[in-house]
Amino acid sequence: MLQALADQGVDHIFGYPGGAVLPIYDELFQQDRLQHILVRHEQGALHAAEGYARSTGKVGVVLVTSGPGATNAVTGLTDALMDSIPLVCITGQVPTHLIGNDAFQESDTVGITRPCTKHNYLVRDVNDLAKVLHEAFYVARSGRPGPVVVDIPKDVQIATGNYTEVSNTQHKSYRPATVGDEDAIAEAIELMANAKRPIFYTGGGIINAGPVASERLRELVRMTGFPITSTLMGLGAYPASGKQWLGMLGMHGTYEANHAMHDCDVMIVLARVSTTASPGGSTRSRRAPRRSTSISTARPSTRTSKSISPLSAIAPMCLSR
């Protein structure tokens, strides 16, 4: 397991020890390659790993024990899923023959974390462990980033098996689209060219995608001259000193941004997730745009379009750095 983490470029692990992960901690203390950062609560480990991922552009790694350790991690996992933060959370689990028998500090980690992770795994064979870890990092960082849980029973931790090198670690059914639809792009350009009251609406995906995405956004705003607003997570992608900047949108945003969004005829949504904290975030919102056309960089099948169905969905943004 530690070799797989090292091969993925991991330097730091945030964690809190417990009985179901003691074999992993024993190995951690016998090496100097990976640095373990001890926290005082599992939730703190997840939040620390989130900050680490945001500031470094790497996948944050967390190690917690079974039962209460895993359940304490749920808040951090949910936060990472909402904010598109790449995390790999390794959880301990009771031995495989005790799963489902109400063993000490046992919980259905896979079932509990299914709604708040991008994907999760229960490793029952030590020969699958390295492959699963490599795949978990691929899923966490590719496409729209998010948290992935790898649940490892204690007997798998102490077993010996074959190591799988990093190679083609793509998930058999996970194929994030990173190439835009040319027809949809052409339609979007036509809508933008004929718009009377257009507005750019950007989100945290621009920040997650790195500095190049922010540069492209600023270039696009300069070329079009369209006004721009942003969610809280997207602040910083476009400078507040810019002439087209209207300020942040939403219940805590500016008067100008909210009214401009309400009265726009074309809304260009870039790397943003719908929430009820901003106009248009809820179909029941009285302030939602009523006569506007939405152009989104996310496809209707993703969470971006839960509340507003865009007329033109270009393609999901690749948020990996």
Which tokens in the block code for residue 31?
């090496």
The answer as to whether 45 is a domain residue is: yes
**For residues 12 and 37, is the Cβ–Cβ distance under 8 A?**
yes
Place of tokens 């490892």: 152
The answer as to whether 130 is a domain residue is: yes
* Strands of the sheet with 147-153, listed across from one edge: 35-38, 12-15, 60-64, 87-93, 147-153, 119-122
Q: Are residues 265 and 146 in the same domain?
A: no
Q: What's the number of domains the chain is made of?
A: 2
Give me the pLDDT at residue 288, please. 45
In sequence order, which ranges of 123-203 are alpha helices (DSSP H)?
129-141, 154-158, 182-193
Give me the pLDDT at residue 183, please. 86
CA dihedral over 117, 119, 125, 129, signed as positive or negative: negative
pLDDT mean values, one per 10 residues, the chain (321 residues): 94 96 95 95 97 94 96 97 94 93 90 95 95 94 93 95 80 78 87 93 88 94 95 93 94 93 91 59 43 60 47 47 39
Phi–psi pair at 194, nearest 5 degrees:
-100, 5
Give me the pLDDT at residue 305, please. 45
Q: Are residues 49 and 149 in the same domain?
A: yes
The answer as to whether 308 is a domain residue is: yes
Q: Are residues 144 and 229 in the same domain?
A: no
**For residues 83 and 146, is the Cβ–Cβ distance under 8 A?**
no
CATH number of the domain encompassing residue 132: 3.40.50.970
List 61's β-bridge partners, or say none: 88
Q: Are residues 247 and 111 in the same domain?
A: no
Q: Are residues 236 and 104 in the same domain?
A: no
**Which domain range does residue 38 map to?**
2-158
What's the pTM value of the predicted model, to 2 decimals?
A: 0.82
The answer as to whether 136 is a domain residue is: yes
Residue 20's closest CA among 129, 152, 108?
A: 152
The answer as to whether 29 is a domain residue is: yes
Give me the pLDDT at residue 278, please. 54
Q: Are residues 149 and 7 in the same domain?
A: yes
